[in-house]
Each structure stands twice: as structure tokens, then as C-alpha cells.
Amino acid sequence: MSTVLRTESLTRVLPGDVPTTLVENIDLEIARGEFVAIMGPSGSGKSSLLYLLGLLDMPTAGQVWLDDTLTTGLSEDHLAHIRLERIGFVFQFHFLLEEFSALDNVMLPMRKLARLTEEEAHDKASELLHTFGLAEQMHKRPSQMSGGQRQRVAVARALANDPQLILADEPSGSLDTHASANVRDILHDLARNQNRAVVAVTHDPTFAQAADRRIFLVDGQLQPPERAAALFEVSVRH
Amino acid sequence: MKLAASIALSHLLSRRRQTLVSLAGIGLGVAFFLAVSALMRGSEQDFMHRLVDNSAHITVYDEFRQAKPQAAELAAAHGAVEIHGVKPETEVRGIRQYKQKLDFVSRLPGLRVAPVLLGQAIFTFAGKDLGAAINGIEPDLMKNVSTIDQYFVSGSLASLHSDPDGIIIGTGLADKFRAKLGDKISVTSPTGLVRVMKIVALFRTGTASYDDGQTFIILKRAQTLLGRPNVANRFILKLDDPARAPVVAGQIERALGYKTQSWQEASEDIMNLVKIRNIIMYSVVAATLIVAAFGIYNVISTVVLEKTRDIAILKSIGFHARDIRRIFLIEGALLGLVGSVLGTGLGLALMAGLARVEVKSPFITTQAFLPIYWGWDQMALAAAFAMGSALVAAYLPARKGGRVRPVDILRGAA
Ligand SMILES: Nc1ncnc2c1ncn2[C@@H]1O[C@H](COP(=O)(O)OP(=O)(O)OP(=O)(O)O)[C@@H](O)[C@H]1O
Ligand SMILES: [Mg+2]
């Protein structure tokens, strides 16, 4: 099992009059083909951790390795390039460009990376949208689609450059049970059948149940496995 | 680049009304710039043409610029002696040995020259006395160096050949005397000589002082009348290339010693006025474009503000700060470019409209229109200035956009 992502005493403190610790001393290892769910109460630092894992935010202490590359301390442009090539993000609120069609949104990362011709990028984007059952919505703008459809477009966009790491922040947060299950199955399939690492923040125990591993955050701290299992039991019962 | 351009375009198209307003700003700025510049430069050219055509390109006077060095000064060159009150001498006898000098000047390439003896006289007709200048000329040489021939109401310079006692006067003087062509007029010189001369031709230039105050007779007659045989006190020159006048004037002055003035020197204050006028024009016109640039700044700032979410998305996907800056700079450039094109079109229409406006000119009896300069250089200047200010206006918001940190936006939205 090869490690895709590894962190060592990852800490992020927001400076200010009263400095806020978002996450503290996180040691984490995520392997290829693994589907990991991050759980925890609201405000516990789940999103903050995800931004650090996705190289969108810089830690105040500790390190992040991606494929054995130490990313901490790299320039902003360098990090941007790593994100483009190797990381796919799905945000809690389907962040799509409003003026662009679903197809154009999915093509965006491919165009930026510019490894494929315009035609190849077009074919690949429409293929992705097909797999997610969005063939009909291809030329619609985000405002003309349902929440679930938009979230699937966001997933398709995250996959555009074939990243080995997919990070999702409550991808089913604003969806009904059916749409939520749909997105969950897609992520599950990516890990299981395409050998990618998937890390998803979720409040939904059913969603978390599908994951290979569940980790728990409380007040920015990672809970030990037995405590995490207990906490999960509690959340399932509710 | 293509990607950045398509995002830029989508931003501009999504804010159609603001985009149109700022395009109108730039377009009107460019159009006014063109119209004003075309008019100012057209009238300047027209004015300069008239100035150059109607004045001598070079005049040689029977004067010196500096007093002759005094013997004492020559003896003690370094200021042991100081002499006050030395004045340059006026050569009362005119240009000495003018024929040789005229010969020398006329052999210089690319010019024509004519000698003139200029003096004053009192003219008497029907019991009325008026003073005016007498120009003793050689008509065949004079017509090469003067545009006076264009302004004859009747007769011409050559009419002087038909009657050795002929005189040419302006319609201004003729009107004051109520004299007509063919009337005899008596001329009294400062030396007291009186001669009766016949009006053989009349001119009207439209400049009152000239039409009232200048008369022409044959050089020989002038020499006897003014009591200065074999003398001329002015050389009047025309050059093929008027721009060379200062150089040629310097050359002649060094050779002859007499004060030799180019038209540029003679009309220095007018040239300065033209320069000041140009400075005023370009600052006013540049101001309109700067105001238009604020419109662009406004649009792009708003877009950056409204699109911070988009910027965060793009950056989180992996766009660099410079990619984001490029998007907004392209927006500025697009506004500048389209605005310039629209403005140039509108400006050309305005220029065409102005070119149809008729004006009355005292110089020209035929139909005359506002002079318009059609050169492409002013269009290039207007477009370059519009593009430049659009880019500068876009730069600040673009830089701000490039600095957006996606986490800040994501945290804010979550
Ligand atoms: N801009 C900010 N300034 C100060 N504190 C912040 C800021 N953003 C987040 N926080 C704090 O950081 C902590 C972690 O926030 P984070 O968004 O990571 O939590 P979360 O686990 O994702 O919560 P949720 O489940 O509600 O999304 C919270 O206590 C929050 O109040
Ligand atoms: Mg969150």
C-alpha cells in the first residue's frame, strides 16, 4: 500500500488579538485506494484540515508530504501547480463558475494544465459528465441545474486532471438522501476501482459508513482510534 | 492566454451595462481627442502654410546685429577698457554694392531672391495727403519671391513694365483716396522730390495694414525718387524648402555681415503661441481620456469584487496569481481596444462633419471649410493613449485579484 499523503504534527493557528488554533498536531497517513471520512462536531476544524491537506492553506507548524514530496515551504506558484496536477477539490458549496456551462467548468483544469488538446479535453469532459449521468446537463449553466447535479459537476471537475488525491468537504451536505448516496457511490468507486485516495468531510454517518476509515476531530485534535469508534457509534445512534 | 481571454470576456459580457458605459467613456474620449486634435492641427497647418507662403522665407536687412568693435576694445581684448553707449550702426546707404551681393545670394542652391528699396513717401490725391511705404522692386524677380501676384484685383506686378511711372497700390489706400485704376497720384519723397505716378494695378490681400500702407514702383524709379541711386536695402528670399531657412539665413549672414532673418526667427512669438496652444489642447484632451480611464478602473474593480468567489475557485484549481492578473488586464485591454475602435469611428465621423463647416476667410474669396488634419498619427496616438490608460486602470484591480487567497474566501463562505 503506497502512501499518497502524509502529515507530521500539522498545526494551524490563525493570528489575531486572540489567536485561534484551527488544528493541532495532526499526524495522518492516507494510502492509494483508500476512502477516508473525516468527522467531528461543527467548528472542530475539519474544513481547516482539508485546506491544509489540499495545499490551499499553509501550516504554522508541521509538514505535509505529497507522494514523498515535502510541500511545506514551497512557493505559492509551485503549490498551485501541484494542486492543478495532483489534487482534486470538491467544496461544500459546489463552487462552479456561473458564466460557464457544466462542460466548460469541467474543462477548466484541463485547459489550464494544457496537456490535452482542446478536442481531447472536450471529449474527456463530456465522458466524465456522462459517467455521472449529466449528459443532458452538459451545456447548461450551474444556475439551470439542481443542487445534486451541480455537486456532480464539481466532482467531475475535481477529476479532470486525473488527480491521485481527491478532497471533498461535505460533498453531500446540501443534498437529499438519494443525491447524497449518488455522490457517495461515486467517491467510493474512485477509491475502490480507480485506486485513488479520497478524503471526505462528512456529518452523515451513512456516508461515513461507506468509508474504509473514519477519523474524528474534536477542537482541532485528532482522536485516537478507539475514541473515534466510540464517537462514531454515538453519531450513528442519533 | 486563450483561457484567460475567455474568462475575461465572460466577465465583461455578464456585466453588459457597465461594460457599455465604460466603452462609451473610452469611445467618446477617443472621438473628442481625434476631433479636437484634427481641428487644432489642421488649423495649425493651414496657418503655417499661410505664414510661410505669405511671408519672405528670409529677409536680408541693411543693418547689423552687433555694434562694430571699437578700436579700444580690439586693443585691450580682456576688459581693461569698457566702453558704454555703443550702438549698432544703421547703414543709411543700404546694402553696399548690392548687385554683387545679390549675385552671390542668387547663386546659392534652392532659392530665389529679389532686391527691394524700401522707403517712405507722402501721397497726394484730390487734395488729400497720406503716408505709405514705397517698395522699389524688379517685377520679374519679385514675382518669384512674393505671393502678392495672387492678390491683384486688376493688373499685376508686370503692369509696372508698361509704364515707367506706374505705381501699384492696395485697395485700402485707393479707397481712402477714392482713386481708381488709371488715376494720377503725386508722390513726395522725404528728400522733397515730387513725381506724378499713374495707378497701373490694384491689390487686395485682406490685411488692412498691408492694403493701406504698401505701394510698389520700379526699383530704378524708387532709387531716383528717394535719392539713393544704385541702392537696395532689402533682399527678399524664397526657398524651395522653407524648413531650411534658419540654416541658409545663417550662411548668408556669415558671408555678407548683414542681419539676415529667417521666417522662423521673424515669427518666433507666433510659433511660441502655437506651441502653447498645442500644450493646452493635448492636456485638455488627455484629461477626457483619463476620466474615461476611471470608468474602466471602476468596472474592473467591481468585477474583481464581485468575482472574488470565481478567483478563489480558479486559484484553488491551480491558477497562479499571474493568471488571475492576466484575466483582468485582458478585460482592461479589451475595453481599451473596443473603445478605441468605436471612438476612432465616431471621431472620423465628427471630423468629416467638421470638414463640412464653412468658414469665411479674408484671404480667400472662394469657398473655404474648416481645415482638418487627417493624419493617421493622431489616431495611433489616441488609441495608444486609450489602451495605455485602460491597462493602467486595470492594473490595480488586477493586482488585487491576483492577491486573493482562496482559503479566506472559503472560510468566509463556509
Ligand atoms: N476566519 C476565521 N477567523 C477566526 N476563526 C475562524 C475563522 N474561520 C474559522 N474559524 C474557526 O476555526 C474553527 C474551525 O473551523 P472549520 O471551518 O475548520 O470547522 P469545521 O469543522 O469545518 O466546521 P463545520 O462542520 O461547521 O464546517 C472554528 O472554531 C471556527 O470558529
Ligand atoms: Mg467545514
pLDDT in tens, B202-213: 999 888 889 999
Cβ contacts of B410 on chain A, cutoff 8 Å = 47, 51, 56, 91
CB-CB contact of A227 with A216 (8 Å): yes
| Contact (CB, 8 A) for A107 and A122 | yes
Q: Residue A54 and residue B316: Cβ atoms within 8 Å? A: yes
Instruction: Please provide the CATH number assigned to the domain covering A3-237.
Output: 3.40.50.300
Q: Note the pLDDT of residue B414.
A: 47
Q: For residue A45, report the distance from its CA to the centre of ligand 2, in Å.
A: 7
Give the span between the Cα atoms of B17 and B147, in whole angstroms.
58
Instruction: Please report the residues numbered 137 through 166 in chain A whose beta carbons come closer than 8 angstroms to any beta carbon of chain B.
Output: 157
The least confident of B85-89, B134-138, B311-315 is: B85-89
* The pLDDT of residue A171 is above 80: yes
Q: Which residue in chain A is spatially nearest to B14 when comparing CA positions?
A: A99
Give me ligand 2 centre to Cα B410, in Å. Answer: 9
Give every CB contact of residue B11 below 8 A, 6+ residues apart in sequence: A99, B303, B307, B327, B331
Task: Calculate how close chain A gets to B322, using CA atoms only, in Å.
Answer: 9
Question: What letter represents residue B46's amino acid?
Answer: D
Beta-ladder partners of B368: B359
Query: Residue B87 pLDDT more than 70?
Result: no
Tell the residue nearest (CA) to atom 3 of ligand 1: A14
- Interface pTM, i.e. ipTM: 0.91
Give the ligand at the shortest distance from the Cα of A46. Answer: 1
The beta-carbon neighbor of A109 closest among B318, B411, B413 is B318
DSSP β-bridge partners for residue B236: B59, B114
Tell me the mean pLDDT in the region B303-318: 89
User: Could you tell me how far CA A200 lies from the centroid of its own chain?
Assistant: 6
| pLDDT tens-place string over residues B368-383 | 788 888 888 888 988 8
- Answer whether residue B70 shows pLDDT above 70: no
Nearest residue (by CA) to ligand 1, atom 5, is A20
Of A47, A99, A111, the CB nearest to B414: A47
A126 lines ligand 1 (CB under 6 A): no
Alpha-carbon distance of A43 to B254, in angstroms, equals: 94
Tell which wins on pLDDT, A175 or B136. B136
Q: Do A83 and B310 touch (CB under 8 A)?
A: no
pTM, whole model, 2 decimals? 0.74
Residues with CB under 5 Å of ion ligand 2 are A 47; B 414
Q: Which of A44, A56, A169, A199 to mutate to test the pocket of ligand 1 (most atoms within 8 A of CB)?
A: A44
Encode pLDDT of B159-218 as tens digits.
Answer: 999 988 999 999 999 999 999 999 999 999 988 899 999 999 999 988 888 999 999 999
Closest ligand to residue A45's CA? 1
Our answer on whether the CB atom of A202 is closer than 6 Å to any ligand 1 atom is: no
Query: Which residues from chain A sit within 8 angstroms of residue B411, using beta carbons?
Result: 47
pLDDT of A35 > 90? The answer is yes
Cα separation, B187 vs B183, in Å, equals: 13
Residue pair B114/B142 in contact (Cβ under 8 Å)? The answer is yes
Tens of pLDDT along B392-402? 888 999 999 99
Q: Which of A105-114, A176-185, B91-100 has the lowest mean pLDDT?
A: B91-100
State yes or no: pLDDT of B301 exceeds 90.
Answer: no
Q: Could you tell me which residues come within 8 angstroms of residue B401 by beta carbon, excluding any fewer than 6 positions away?
A: B304, B307, B308, B311, B324, B325, B327, B328
Nearest to B117 by CA among B61, B58, B171, B191: B61
A20-31 and A3-14: which strand pairing? antiparallel
Minimal-distance CA residue to ligand 1 atom 27: A42
- Residue B47: CA atoms inside 13 Å, Cβ hemisphere, count? 12
Tell me the chain B residues in contact with residue A94 when contact means C-beta distances shorter than 8 Å.
none
The per-residue pLDDT for A156 is: 92
Cβ of A20 below 6 Å from ligand 1: yes
Residue of B200, B197, B185 whose CA lies nearest to B155? B200
C-alpha cell, A63? 509538514
Q: B95: closest CA among B264, B252, B262, B267?
A: B252
DSSP assignment letter at A77: H
Helix (H) or strand (E) holding A205: helix A205-209
pLDDT above 50 for A153: yes
At residue B75 the predicted structure's pLDDT band, cuts being 50, 70 and 90, is low
Q: In chain A, pLDDT over 70 holds for what percent of residues?
A: 99
Q: What confidence category does residue B68 fall into, taking pLDDT thresholds of 50, 70 and 90?
A: low
How many CB atoms within 10 Å of residue A86? 19
Which range is least confidently modeled, A119-123, A163-167, B225-229?
Answer: B225-229
Q: How far apart are CA B168 and CA B218, in angstroms?
A: 10
Q: Which of B312, B318, B407 sits opposite A80 (nearest CB)?
A: B318
| Confidence at residue B152, expressed as pLDDT on a 0 to 100 scale | 92
Q: Do A81 and B318 touch (CB under 8 A)?
A: yes
Whether B289 has a pLDDT exceeding 90, the answer reads: no
Q: Does A13 touch chain B (CB under 8 A)?
A: no
Q: How confident is the model at residue B43 (pLDDT cuts 50, 70, 90)?
A: confident
Strands (E), B31-182: 58-61, 111-125, 128-137, 152-154, 166-170
Distance from C-alpha of B107 to C-alpha of B101, rounded to nearest angstrom: 10
pLDDT digits (tens, 9 = 90+) for B97-123: 889 999 999 999 999 999 999 999 999
As a whole number, mean pLDDT of residues A20-33 equals: 94
Residue type, A121: A
Question: Which residue puts its alpha carbon closest to atom 22 of ligand 1?
Answer: A47
Tell me, yes or no, if A54 comes closer than 8 A to chain B by beta carbon.
yes
